[in-house]
A = this chain, B = another copy of it.
């Protein structure tokens, strides 16, 4: 077992209990563009080509050290929901949480094919459930659009028959909205630890994880979606990771992103820079910075938000460090 002594952590005896907290674990959250580019429809071939390209760009990171990979699933779960709806006359539609599960397997299998040739080691894919609070206010106020567009008559029918919430989406039609509750706990955390000890890259918490709630001594799936960066932060903190790396389309967090002004921010510190959050778009960069802040606050570790292209460039990227860092 390798104990990193250059990590700033004090090396102690008796690390066997929780060895991962001292071993330089990195959690990498792959952005949507690692899987699909604008205008692509979501074929397996497209996803494989994009994954292979992303992995080649970040190859040095993949080749050594303990590594957990997470990923989004927006277009994939959208496609799956389309299939469920269009096939409904002949094959019963599955609940949303199972569609999320299906995308973990779809994308996981593609990653498991494309990663080893670049990384020189195996990737294992763990079905991952993420606990949310049944009383999370998001359940009262579903906001995340998923699946196909409908006309108003069909929307009313679905509200009536399935109890869905649908809202009109900027003239494009009616669309189902689902809750996006806060991730609290990764159920498979210890399993991820076990798999890491085997030396593989572990693919987990895909699509933000399968949302589940605890009730009556059970753990049941719920129809919701979880932000993948927030889930990645919970996973990374739970594992005691040293580094949370959030890969996205832009090389760094930009100041006043909403106003289109592009000054990149080299460093952010939670407890000092929360004001930046207001200027960031709610559906994209804001949860990434929030996730990075949460991880750094919970662990004292480091987070980075950058693109696969810029990863090797020490001048690029936004680094998030504790307020007390030197």
- A residues contacting B by CB (< 8 A) are 41-44, 78-80, 82-87, 89-92, 94-95, 97-98, 101-102, 104-106, 108-110, 112-113, 116-117, 122, 124-127, 129, 148, 187-188, 190-191, 193-195, 197-198, 200, 210, 212, 217-221
Contact = CB atoms under 8 A, between A and B. Distances in A.
Which 6 A-B pairs give the minimum distances between C-beta atoms?
A: A83-B87, A105-B105, A125-B127, A79-B91, A83-B83, A101-B105
Contact of A127 (B41, B105, B194): B105
Given A42-B92, A191-B195, A195-B194, A125 B126 contact: yes
B101 A127 contact: no
A106 B102 contact: yes
Nearest to A97: B109
A200 B191 contact: yes
Given A82-B87, A102-B102, A109-B97, A92 B43 contact: yes
Given A102-B105, A124-B191, 9 more contacts: A41-B91, A44-B94, A79-B87, A80-B102, A86-B87, A87-B87, A109-B127, A109-B221, A117-B217
6 contacts: A79-B91, A86-B87, A101-B106, A113-B212, A122-B187, A124-B191
